[in-house]
Every structure is written in structure tokens, then in C-alpha cells.
Amino acid sequence: AQTVTQSQPEMSVQEAETVTLSCTYDTSESDYYLFWYKQPPSRQMILVIRQEAYKQQNATENRFSVNFQKAAKSFSLKISDSQLGDAAMYFCAYRSGWDRKTSYDKVIFGPGTSLSVIP
């Protein structure tokens, strides 16, 4: 069974600095997708960035980028020029490829990392 691990329950960063959140996963599949979601105090789940496993190029969305290491099963999130609005819980998520038997592609979330931004 697939698992997603986020080894840092809490992180903090100075405003305008860079922080990296780690995520590792375990799978025997070759076709899958990875996501980072942000959950601010409002509780809304917001997609930050996504990565297809078959792509070697790391995904980038403005100040957010990932370091995807498929062989190591690692998917870290780097936030550059941190802003106060980046303070939130960050969840790493794994989505399997489509399963013909179940017609369902499983989504598994990690336990989350709470990020604080210090002014």
C-alpha cells in the first residue's frame, strides 16, 4: 500500500527567506501524480503545485517549486521569498494512476507540516 510521509510537523521561516518542506512516499507504481496543498486557518484546501511522475522537469508555480526525485521517492516543496500569507498547513498528496479494476485512482495525504512565517 502507498504511504506518504512528512517528517516535519512544524517549520518556521523568516519573511522573505526560503524554506523547504519535505515529503517522501512509498509506492510500487510507475504512473502517479504528486500534489502540494495549502490549508490556511480558513480551512480551505488550496492546490499549490502538481507534478506528473513521468516528467523529469520539476514543476514551478511563481514562488513555489518542487524537487522531485523519483528514484528516491522524494517530493519536497520550496517556497521562495516567503510571505506572511504563506503561513498554513501544507499537505503532500499522492494520486495513483487509474486502476482498471476499481475504476478508481487512490489519493493519499500526508500528515501535514505547519508553516509559520516570522515577520
12 or 44: CB nearest other proteins: 44
Query: What is the Cα Rg of the chain in Å?
Result: 14
Q: Which three cell numbers stand for residue 12?
A: 518556521
Distance CA 34, CA 75 (A): 8
Provide the mask over 81-110, with x wherever binding to other proteins is found by CB under 8 A and - wherever it is not: ----------x---x-xx---xxxx-x-xx
Give the number of residues written for the chain.
119
Which of 11, 50, 63, 80: binder of other proteins (CB under 8 A)? 50
State whether residue 89 is helix, strand or coil: strand
Using CB under 8 A as the binding rule, the residues of this chain from 19 to 38 that contact other proteins are: 33, 35
Distance CA 82, CA 74 (A): 22
Q: How many chain residues are in contact with other proteins, going by CB under 8 A?
A: 22
Which of 29, 69, 84, 111: binder of other proteins (CB under 8 A)? 111
**Identity (one letter) of the amino acid at 76?**
S
Contact residues for other proteins (CB under 8 A)?
33, 35, 42-45, 47, 50, 52, 91, 95, 97-98, 102-105, 107, 109-112
